[in-house]
Structure 1
Amino acid sequence: MRLALVFCVTALPVVAQTDFGALTDAERLAFGTELRALLRAEPELVAAAVTPPNYAAEAYQEKAQADLDLIASLTRQVLAGTQIALFTGEDCTDCANALEEIKAISNTYDVTFKHHVMSDPASAALAEQLGMTDVPFYVMPDRILRGHMPDIVLRRYLTQ
């Protein structure tokens, strides 16, 4: 394959003078064969044309990375060596359900969790740093889940 590339490079002055619209059938077939071989060997040559950039995904990717960096910087305080943290508040029906479900998951699947109650100033400060105001919410090393998650969803995240 490299030999073909060398021939292409050495033939560059000739190619610059070639009228590709006037190739004979044999020349067109040979050129097509070489071009296909080159593209198979070096697919990155056309990757940008075949898969254009996804600008929306790139924009969210930066925000997602910033969120992951934030979680990483607060992991010690938020997770405290556990797999998941649950933030709850008082007088919150969803919070009571979330706490009971995570306790059941913890007992069944040997999953450790950290419970943060928003009436504790330290927990409230962590929630503020995370940009979370509504309880319940869950924090894992790679994500934040807003609102009460059904136990089947939590089990899937925690037992993968």
Structure 2
Amino acid sequence: LLTVIVTAAGLVSSELRSGSAALTLAKPISRAAFVVGKLSAYLLHLLAATVLGTALCVGATAILFGAAPLGDLLQAVALWLVYVLLLTCFIVLLSCTLRSQLGVAALGIATFIALSALSLLQPLAQTPVGMADVVTAAMAGTAFSATWPLVTSAALALVLLATALLVFQRKEI
């Protein structure tokens, strides 16, 4: 996840700092389309890398150890992707707010650490904070309830993206 955070940190902020965002936005493209396009491209690349990595992992495991519980792995990967979506939407919000890629990465890592620490608090298990535990439980093959962490994570990701779009709409380029 740290790699995801650091690489996503410059999605918008590096474009703003270098001036290429101004050049792109001088064309008939809306600011919202610019941000959503950057996020979509990043998430598609991440999805492709995750699918490829998972397929290689399944293949290597089958060769070395025989059959493994594929359902648990696929479920854990899908849940991890939702967690990554949430973190990436937060990083995009930071990237729309700050011009410093390093600042965005540092705040993103600090947020990830805070979420990991907060996941120890049981009352927060049904919020986006509980996603880390849900992914871990899915990988371990233990019983878990993912409904509320999934719903709240998806809702928060949408709120974060909408906020990022509002911030970028008002930002001076």
Using the size of structure 2 for normalisation, the TM-score is 0.22
Question: Which structure: greater strand fraction?
Answer: 1
Question: Which structure: greater helix fraction?
Answer: 2
Greater length-normalized contact order (CA 8 Å, ≥ 6 residues apart) = 2
Using the size of structure 1 for normalisation, the TM-score is 0.23
